[in-house]
Structure 1
Amino acid sequence: MKILLVEDEPLIALTLVDMLEELGHRPLEALNGDQALTLFGEHDDIDLVITDVGLPDISGHNLAETMRSGSPALPIIFATGHTGQGPQPITPEPPTAHLGKPFQVAELQSTIDRLMAVARKG
């Protein structure tokens, strides 16, 4: 699966790219919203976006809104360092999940699997 990863912290981005590759995915990496929008425009086969909520140039939520203006059913995982909220349910329309950082490989794959199952039903 081709996944656009948007994370402004280079070490976290590198770790997440490694995790996604280990899981058999094909990640594209963007360090900010501008890079993410450029990659999103260049690749029409992105299956899923994982974005940090607190990016330096745009919020992850505003980035998602911009991307979904042309692809309303685009599945998006919002990754945030603000934990303590507990597990949140997957939102089906549009397909959305939240994942608290840090997270383990199994938790990432489980969230991807659950989100994509909901997206396929939608």
Structure 2
Amino acid sequence: MPHTSVERPPRILIIDDEEAILNMLCEYFRSLDYVVLEAPTAERGIDLVRKENGLDLVITDIDLPGMSGIDFLQVARSIRQGLPVIIITGLKTLDYAISAIKHGAIDYITKPFELSEVRKIVEKVLRHRISAQLKERIFRFTQAMSINWEVPTRELNEAVMADYLARFLVNSGFCDQEEYHQYYMAFIETLINAIEHGNLELPSSIKGDDFQKLGEFDRLRQERMKDPHYGNRLVKISFLFNPERFSLTIADEGPGFDWRRYVGESNQFYQGSTEAYGRGFLL
């Protein structure tokens, strides 16, 4: 179990209105020596977020009576900036889980789930949080930095990466906390595009609003994640930073498309600035 410091184990909050699931998760993580707080509603969860300064992580169901999981996520992160939130969702609320990721949730768990899988996700998120806290101390002294990642699609957590990049900009003083969400949203949308429509070659036509299409999209996404032909394709990320400016390049290994269909062959500006960029447009 990743400890947040040498003094104490992780403190997590679990929110679920289903008593059986809430008790199961609480008992499981207490058996692993976590300090576990629990709440049957999002409103009670918000009270605990306000009172507990040492929270390291929240696990919440997305379909709650009263305040929803997404509403909780937005309020909780406004109270505790950077607090990691993992969403629990059923297939019928999968679209809300995807929306929650875009609004700052660090990951999601689909019902039914195995406790061992929940543990893996929690420990991964906590390791990232510990690393981020340590790096915060040196970020504000950074004068220049260049980082390149080449991550297999099946290994890349787009929410963690987007949070890392946006939080770096805040911690280095490049932008303030209010601008964090704008950068986060821009980064995660680009990463999701590289993963889903780039390396996994998932057609947009099957990603609709109804539950049947969402289920089909999710099943195909999981299948291609496990298929080495798709899942082993790399997402290449290049991040260049100095106190005055930064650049971020995200490239996938998918087939791309013909950019001329979208901007017109007669547009000289777009011909010069987009031809080499596959699905993206350089603005």
Same fold (TM over 0.5): yes
Q: Which residue of 1 aligns with 2:122?
A: 112
**Counterpart mapping for 1:90-101 below 5 A:** 94=104, 96-101=106-111
Q: Which residue of 2 aligns with 1:75?
A: 84
CA 1:98–1:58 in structure 2 vs 1: closer, same or farther (change >3 Å)? same
Contact 1:80 1:99 survives alignment (8 Å)? yes
1:26 correspondence with 2:35 = yes
Instruction: Note the alpha carbon deviations across 1:17-48, whole angstroms, 9 max, x for none.
Output: 11111222111010001111111111111100
Q: Which residue of 1 aligns with 2:26?
A: 17
How many residue pairs get aligned? The number is 116
Q: Work out which of the two has the higher radius of gyration on C-alpha atoms and give 1 or 2.
A: 2
Instruction: Note the alpha carbon deviations across 1:53-104, whole angstroms, 9 max, x for none.
Output: 0010111111011010122211111011227x7xx9xx7x946010112222
Contact 1:2 1:47 survives alignment (8 Å)? yes
Contact 2:73 2:104 survives alignment (8 Å)? no
Distance 1:23 1:106 in 2: 11
- Structure 1 residues without counterparts, runs of 5 or longer: none
| Fraction of identical pairs, as percent | 28
AA partner of residue 87 (structure 2): F
Contact 2:73 2:105 survives alignment (8 Å)? no
DSSP 3-state at the match of 1:44: coil
AA partner of residue 81 (structure 1): G
CA 1:102–1:19 in structure 2 vs 1: closer, same or farther (change >3 Å)? farther
Report the TM-score, using the length of structure 2 for normalisation.
0.38
AA partner of residue 103 (structure 1): F
CA 1:94–1:118 in structure 2 vs 1: closer, same or farther (change >3 Å)? farther
Q: Which structure has greater helix proportion? A: 2
Distance 2:82 2:49 in 1: 14
Return the offset for 1:6.
0.6
After the TM superposition, list the runs of 4 or more consecutive aligned residues in structure 1 that deviate by more than 4 angstroms.
none
Distance 1:53 1:95 in 2: 11
Distance 2:71 2:104 in 1: 14
Contact 1:73 1:95 survives alignment (8 Å)? no
- Structure 2 residues without counterparts, runs of 5 or longer: 1-9, 133-163, 165-283
Q: Which residue of 2 aligns with 1:103?
A: 113
Distance 2:86 2:108 in 1: 6
Comparing 110-119 and 57-66, the one that deviates more: 110-119
Of 8, 11, 14, the residue aligned with 1:2 is: 11
